[in-house]
Chain A
Amino acid sequence: MHQTLWILAIGTLCFRLIGPFWAGSSRLTPRWQALISDATIVLLCALAVVSSVMDGHQFAGWARPIGVLIGMVLTLWKAPFPVIVIAAAGATAGLRYLGLS
């Protein structure tokens, strides 16, 4: 856990310092900027999908993906963030209470 903290903290600081301290006036082309921002979206999306459905190598059960799906429907309806998060968690908790894992 200490390893995670320090690698992530120091690495992130280096990323942030590159522009202000070393790069001077060099700029990324718009094409590279778009690729970097797409890479971030791809990672976040994959993280969302995997953590909705899986627990390690195993299927996480139905309660969690159904809760997430309800959160997605609320996202489509442009509900505010807190509502989306609480509804997803609440639905999953309710399903588990009813006995669905």
Chain B
Amino acid sequence: MGLVCVADGVVGLSFGAIAVSGGLPLWFPIALSLLVFAGGAQFAAVGVLLAGGDPVTAAVTGLALNARLVAYGLTMTEVLGHGRLARLLGSHLILDESVAFAMKQTEPAAKRAAFWTCGILIFVVWNLAVLAGALAGQAIGSASSLGLDAAFPALLFALVWPALSNRTTRHRALGGSLLALISTQWVAPGLSVLIALLAIVPSVLRSARDQATTTQTRS
């Protein structure tokens, strides 16, 4: 858990620095980290804004990435407990990391402990790191002379790398990235990334059709 916190701290630092040195106001990355608290979506939204994209497109790109949190929420229902306040606060701590640590445990009490410890730790580390990075970004001034614009894509590749060992995922990611890259010629910045999703549309349709047939045969 400690190593994960250190890694998140470094990512948070670079997020704050990239956003502010790229020209966004100091409050923006800080507010985003406190209220959205999802690294990938924050990077995506800031990336679209820095590329000159439209604010709503930036939000939609971030939301598309966060759709996975619905799936996490469904698996964490029992871990969060029954109190309304606990469920509300716990919901905000639903993250890739906290869910992964909770799922490693088998006992319900251990699951709960792992989820809350990890979630709270990362919330503190992430927000402090973003704050520090944003303040540093103000001092840096020019992001491009320091090559900070390469830091973000390099980090994204490092994050997705393990998932690409799966063949189907790799093909979808490659196809989607190509579509996105070609479409940058015609569509607004940010939208091209969403066009990558076309790569999984056939599988989504197939899954939906199969589910419809199984429900029919059951009834």
List residues of A whose CB falls within 8 A of some B CB: 1-5, 7-9, 11-13, 15-21, 23-29, 31-33, 35-57, 60, 63-64, 67-68, 70-72, 75, 80-82, 84-97
Contacts and interface: CB of A to CB of B under 8 A. Distances in A.
B10 interface: yes
Given A45-B176, A47-B47, A15 B66 contact: yes
Contacts of A67: 147, 150, 154
A40 B197 contact: no
A28 B102 CA distance: 18
B7 A26 contact: no
Contacts of B155: 71, 81, 84-85, 88
A35 B189 contact: no
Contact of B151 (A1, A53, A85): A85
Contacts of A46: 173, 176-177, 179-181, 192-193, 195-196
Contact of A88 (B76, B154, B177): B154
A35 B35 contact: no
Nearest to A95: B147
Contacts of A11: 59, 62-63, 66
Interface residues of B, number: 97
A48 B157 contact: yes
Given A12-B37, A42-B177, A93-B145, 19 more contacts: A4-B59, A13-B92, A19-B70, A20-B76, A21-B91, A29-B211, A46-B193, A48-B156, A50-B181, A50-B192, A54-B184, A55-B51, A63-B147, A64-B147, A67-B154, A85-B151, A88-B155, A94-B147, A95-B147
Interface in B98-129: none
B150 A15 contact: no
Given A42-B176, A89-B148, A75 B28 contact: no
Contacts, number: 295
Contacts of A1: 24-25, 28, 49, 55
A71 B150 CA distance: 9
Nearest to A59: B184
Interface of B: 7, 10-11, 14, 24-25, 28, 31-32, 35-38, 40-41, 43-45, 47, 49, 51-52, 55-56, 58-77, 80, 87-88, 90-92, 94, 144-161, 163-164, 168-169, 172-174, 176-177, 179-181, 184-185, 189, 192-197, 199-200, 203-204, 207, 210-211
B66 to A, nearest CB: 5
A66 B180 CA distance: 20
A77 to B, nearest CB: 11
A35 B203 contact: yes
- Which residue, of A11, A27, A85, has the highest number of chain B Cβ atoms within 10 A? A85
B150 to A, nearest CB: 3
A5 B32 contact: yes
